Every structure is written in structure tokens, then in C-alpha cells.
Amino acid sequence: MDRKELVNQSIDYIMQHLDKDLSLDILASEFYISKFHFSRIFKEETGESVYAFIKRCKVDQSAVDIKLNPAKTITDIGLDYGYSSSNYSSVFKKHRNISPTMFKQSIPANSMTVPFTPERVVNFKTADEYSARIDIQELNNFFVIYERFIGSYEDIEENWYQFLDRYNIYLNENTVLVERFYNDPAITNLSQCICDICMTADRNCNLNNVTEIKGGKCIVYHYDGKIEDIYEILQGIFSVWMPQSGYKMTQRYGLNIYHGIDRKSHRVVMDLCIPI
């Protein structure tokens, strides 16, 4: 396993176990590597120490849970991530410069600014308007070639074009383009958002950067529009539709499945999928 794949797999492990006790010792043991060697590689590849990454992901994901579960108490959400009530509030405030209670009160209900372009304000639709374009579907697993990048989701479009050009020989009429995003850019620092750009591949593919993405039950929003407007739709689904729907997000990532990309007009036809 090369160093990039080691870090990618360790990030996957962290994201899947944020509700567990995580430490450098545990991760090094999981991947059968010296903790000193692992710590150095992780910092060089991500720009963060293992400890800082784990703490940030716990706080950011707990903020997502506050956003999606307005009826759940702050204390219970903190407990889900291994924090006592007072400790959770302290850690949350230190990381986000706001208490979890104040954060909950500040969650926008009708509109919000776009972090990529702060001068732009987007207005949410009603829950019924979102429902008109949402289906509940059971997705199959995807075996994919993938590349992970850590940075602003604003750069996804250009990263996609580079990825498609790089793996052009693997494209065929049955290829499905899939995007796996781990962070809410309204919460996570834009420079630290994680995204996997993927295309389905034959299981005999001999590349090193292959993985399987689990499918399962998802809410699926059918989108046809400009790339720059995807953020508005997803924020509306998370802020308006999900809290009222009775559904709970079951994985710490969402999937975007592309059906058409027009490079000239910057428009896409795609399904925005949230595992439930």
C-alpha cells in the first residue's frame, strides 16, 4: 500500500468511526504501521496531525447532526461523539468560535450566503417543492476508480475535467460517474472539505486507486441545472426537507450520480443522493 492509499484508508476508517474512541495508537495498530511513521505521513499528506483531524471531524460532523436533527438535544449529540455535556460545549466552541447552542439557533431556515461567493444569497424552496423532485431508491454498490482531493468544493468542476481526461481510456457507454462528498461546506472550512471523484470500472481493473462505494437506501433529488446552483439545492434539502422528513442520514457521506455534463454551459443532469 502506498502512502496516499494508506492515508485515504485511514480517513475512511476515521469517518466511519467518529462515534468511537479514536487515537493515533488505534489507527497505527489498525494499519500495522509504526505510530511515528504513520503520524508523519498523515501530516505530510493532509496538512493536519491525526489528533487535529479526528477532533475537527468529530466537531464538524456533530454540527451536521445538530442541523439535521433539530429535536435532538445538544447533550445527546455530544454523547454520540464521546463527549460529556460540558466538555462537548468547550471543544465545539474552541473549534467553531460559537457554542453548540448558539450554533443551533443560528442555522438558517429560509436563506443563506454561499461560502464560495459570500456576496451571493440563496433562498430555500419549501419542503413540498423539494419533495416534488425526490424519490426513495435502493442504490447498488459501485466499484470505482477514484481520486480524493481535500480542498474547496468550488474546484470540483475543474478536478472532474482533469480526472476524465486522465482516465479517458476507461470510459465506455456503461460508465457511471459518481462523486462522494464528506463535508458540508457551510460548516467545514472550505480548504478542508473532502471529496472523491469516481467512475465505475470493471472489477478486474488493475489500478491501485480503486474502491467500492456502498449503495443502499437513499433519498434521490433529480437535478438538471447549473453546477453553481447545486450548493443551494443541497443546503435546502439538508436545512428544510430532511429535518421535516422523518428520515435520518445513515452514512457520513452523500453521493452525486452524473447523467450528463456540458462543459461549455457548465450544466449537469444528476441525482443528488443522501443515504437514509
Q: What are the residues whose beta carbons fall under 8 Å from the beta carbon of 62, sequence distance 6 or more?
A: 77, 78, 80, 81, 88, 92, 100
| 121 inside domain | no
Same domain, 101 and 147: no
What is the structure's pLDDT at 117?
Answer: 87
- Percent of the chain having pLDDT more than 90? 89
Same domain, 141 and 234: yes
> What percent of the chain is helix, strand and coil (3-state, nearest 5)?
45, 25, 30
| 112 inside domain | no
Same domain, 97 and 189: no
Same domain, 75 and 189: no
Same domain, 85 and 147: no
| 83 inside domain | yes
Same domain, 185 and 59: no
What is the structure's pLDDT at 85?
Answer: 82
What is the structure's pLDDT at 28?
Answer: 94
Rounded-to-integer distance, Cα 61 and Cα 74, Å: 13
What is the structure's pLDDT at 118?
Answer: 86
| 263 inside domain | yes
| 252 inside domain | yes
Same domain, 194 and 240: yes
Rounded-to-integer distance, Cα 201 and Cα 143, Å: 6
Same domain, 148 and 67: no
Same domain, 143 and 264: yes
| 124 inside domain | no
β-pair partners for 218: 137, 275
What is the structure's pLDDT at 2?
Answer: 87
The total domain count for the chain is 2
Cα angle: 156, vertex 124, 193; to 5 degrees: 25
Residue-wise pLDDT tens digits, 192-230: 999 999 999 999 999 999 999 999 999 999 999 999 999
Grid cell of 271 as nine digits: 441525482
Same domain, 156 and 212: yes
- Percent of the chain having pLDDT more than 70? 100
Residues of the domain holding 240:
134-275
CATH number, residue 34: 1.10.10.60
What is the structure's pLDDT at 256?
Answer: 97
CATH number, residue 167: 3.20.80.10
Residue 113 sits at φ, ψ, to 5 deg, of -80, 155
Same domain, 240 and 145: yes
With a cut of 90, say whether residue 233 has pLDDT above it.
yes
With a cut of 80, say whether residue 80 has pLDDT above it.
yes
| 183 inside domain | yes
pTM: 0.91
Out of 106, 121, 152, a domain closes at 106
What is the structure's pLDDT at 195?
Answer: 96
Grid cell of 189 as nine digits: 472550512
Residue-wise pLDDT tens digits, 152-164: 999 999 999 999 9
With a cut of 80, say whether residue 1 has pLDDT above it.
no
What is the structure's pLDDT at 30?
Answer: 93
- Only one residue has cell 448558539, namely 102
- Only one residue has cell 460545549, namely 89
| 122 inside domain | no
